[in-house]
Amino acid sequence: MSQLPKTYRSFQDTYPEVWQAYDRLGGAVHQAGPLDDRSRALVKLALAVGARQEGAVHAHVRKCLDAGLTADEIRHAVLLAMPTVGFPSTVAALSWVEDILTTEA
């Protein structure tokens, strides 16, 4: 995985106990059901797109790549959001996806 953003690392350093609790929660919810790594990565990406969270989209594109998803699969997952979140939100999310795909893929 690529280097974590500076703000994220700063949060880890400033609030280690909070970050550890958050990290444990993330691990617990990932293991709570039957979805595999690829499916979980796509679901999390879709949630980030729907919430219009640029930083989260960046992070989840990285996680999708780490899970072995292709750039085309990632783009398709975002494109599927269009009927639900609308054209402007989808285009914004695609631009955030490209931020990562053009620097890390």
List, for residues 53-82, the tens digit of each pLDDT value.
Answer: 999 999 999 999 999 999 999 999 999 999
3-state secondary structure of 14: helix
| 52: Cβ contacts below 8 Å, ≥ 6 apart | 85, 89, 92, 93
Same domain for 84 and 57, yes or no, is: yes
Quote the pLDDT of residue 105.
Answer: 59
List, for residues 3-42, the tens digit of each pLDDT value.
Answer: 778 998 999 999 999 999 999 999 999 999 999 999 999 9
Is the pLDDT reported for residue 1 higher than 50? no
What gap in Å lies between CA 23 and CA 25, rounded to an integer?
Answer: 5
R_g of the chain, CA atoms, integer Å: 14
Quote the pLDDT of residue 93.
Answer: 98
Same domain for 45 and 83, yes or no, is: yes
Same domain for 25 and 69, yes or no, is: no
Same domain for 28 and 56, yes or no, is: no
What gap in Å lies between CA 85 and CA 49, rounded to an integer?
Answer: 8
Q: What does the block give as tokens for 92?
A: 């914004």
Same domain for 39 and 62, yes or no, is: yes
Report, as an integer, the average pLDDT of 88-103: 96
Same domain for 7 and 39, yes or no, is: no
CATH number at residue 77: 1.20.1290.10
A 10 A CB-CB count for 79 gives: 14
Same domain for 2 and 29, yes or no, is: yes
What gap in Å lies between CA 100 and CA 62, rounded to an integer?
Answer: 7
Please count the structural domains in the chain: 2
Same domain for 4 and 14, yes or no, is: yes
Same domain for 49 and 100, yes or no, is: yes
Residue 18's domain spans which residues?
1-33
Same domain for 22 and 67, yes or no, is: no
Same domain for 98 and 59, yes or no, is: yes
CA nearest 62: which of 2, 8, 20, 16?
2
Residue 2: pLDDT band by 50, 70, 90 thresholds?
A: low
